[in-house]
Amino acid sequence: MTLHNTTPHDDGLRFSAYMGDGYTIAVLSGELDVACSPVLREQLLSVLRPRATRLVIDLSEVTFCDASGLAVLVGTGRRAALLGGVMRLAAPAPVVVTALHISGLLGQFDIFPTVLAATAQPHPAGPGDEASTHAYTGSDADSAEPAAQTALMAAADASAAGDLREAVASLLVHAEAWRDCDPSRRFTSPLRALARAHAGDDHTALAKAACSLMAALARYPLTYSPAVAATASDLRHLIGPSSGVPVPA
């Protein structure tokens, strides 16, 4: 039974949900990031009800993932547990696996290689159980460095045309909004480095600073803000698809 038809959003994420084998299966497709977090939170919580507390989230079609997107999944899992249910992740795409490793959240979830495997497991599997080890391999995380170098090269190329400098300038205009969304002050250092690089003329340094800020987004969640979501998305899309695997800060 279909609960929600696939609905595209301006934030780049599509969501659909259906019932199967006693579970609600939510299918996410597109970008799982800070821009989608408020809408996604509402959508996932809307399918968790007192008589429908078992949730599987299919992540096979996710094309980008950051820590803010993962934070929504953490909160959803907690809600499912409070209702006496369970939440499981199925078939995470490589970008999701990498984000889980980088953010340190891998152990927070029960992860299965397929939706079928997730719904067939008779009892909740705790983090670290056998079911949690089949959905990924070390090669997913090991691919981060080559992809990061590709992202850096793309950013450096874009900066030659002035696009990167323009995107960074727009972001720095909203630096106060970034600080307001970062109560732990994890982004203070990357933002300062970005501002210093933007004040100079070294395109490579600016590209590195931009990629370092993207790396922080993969590690640490932010409170949602339209300005932060827009400027983060603009910068990431400029750097390129490979920025889904960020450069270490």
pLDDT in tens, 133-178: 444 444 444 454 445 555 555 555 654 548 899 999 999 999 999 9
The torsion defined by the Cα of 103, 104, 109 and 111, in degrees rounded to 10, comes to 80
DSSP string, 53-84: -EEEEEEEEEEEE-HHHHHHHHHHHHHHHHTT
Average of per-residue pLDDT across 13-27:
94
Confidence of residue 65 (pLDDT cuts 50, 70, 90): very high
* pLDDT for 3: 57
pLDDT tops 60 at residue 123 = no
Whole-number percent of the chain with pLDDT over 70:
76
What are the phi and psi torsion angles at 55 (to 5°)? -125, 135
Separation CA 112–CA 125 (nearest Å):
10
User: Which pLDDT belongs to residue 162?
Assistant: 82
- pLDDT tens track for 45-64: 999 988 899 999 999 999 99
Sorted by sequence, the CB contacts under 8 Å of residue 97 that are 6+ apart come out as 135, 136, 140, 141
Mean per-residue pLDDT over the chain, rounded: 83
Q: Higher-confidence residue: 76 or 149?
A: 76
Give residues with Cβ within 8 angstroms of 199, minimum separation 6. none
Tell me: pLDDT of 217 over 50: yes
Q: pLDDT value at position 132?
A: 54
**pLDDT (0 to 100) of residue 88:** 96
Mean pLDDT to the nearest integer, 174-196: 97
- Please list the residues that pair with 111 across neighbouring strands: 89
* Per-residue pLDDT at 158: 52
For tokens 């934070």, the residue is 71
DSSP string, 194-212: HHHHHHSS-HHHHHHHHHH
Residue 245, pLDDT > 50, answer no
CA dist 229 → 53, 64, 161, 177 (Å): 30, 14, 24, 10
pLDDT given for residue 23 in this prediction: 95
Least confident of 34-43, 116-125, 155-164: 155-164
pLDDT at position 247, please? 40
**pLDDT reported for residue 19:** 94
Give the residues across from 229 on adjacent strands: none
Q: Which residue has the higher pLDDT, 7 or 44?
A: 44
pLDDT at 174: 97
| Domains delineated in the chain | 2-141 (3.30.750.24), 143-244 (no CATH)
- The model's pTM: 0.82
Helix axes 163-173, 188-199, angle to 10 degrees: 130
Is a pLDDT exceeding 90 seen at residue 68? yes
- What pLDDT is attached to residue 147? 53
Beta bridge pairs of residue 27: 16, 58
Distances (CA, A) of 194 to 45, 77, 165, 208: 36, 35, 10, 9
Residue in the block written with tokens 């995107």: 167
d(CA 187, CA 182) in angstroms, rounded, equals 7
Please name which of 31, 25, 26 lies closest in space to residue 9, comparing C-alpha atoms: 31
Kindly tell me if the per-residue pLDDT of 225 is higher than 80: yes
Question: What is the average pLDDT across 82-103?
Answer: 94
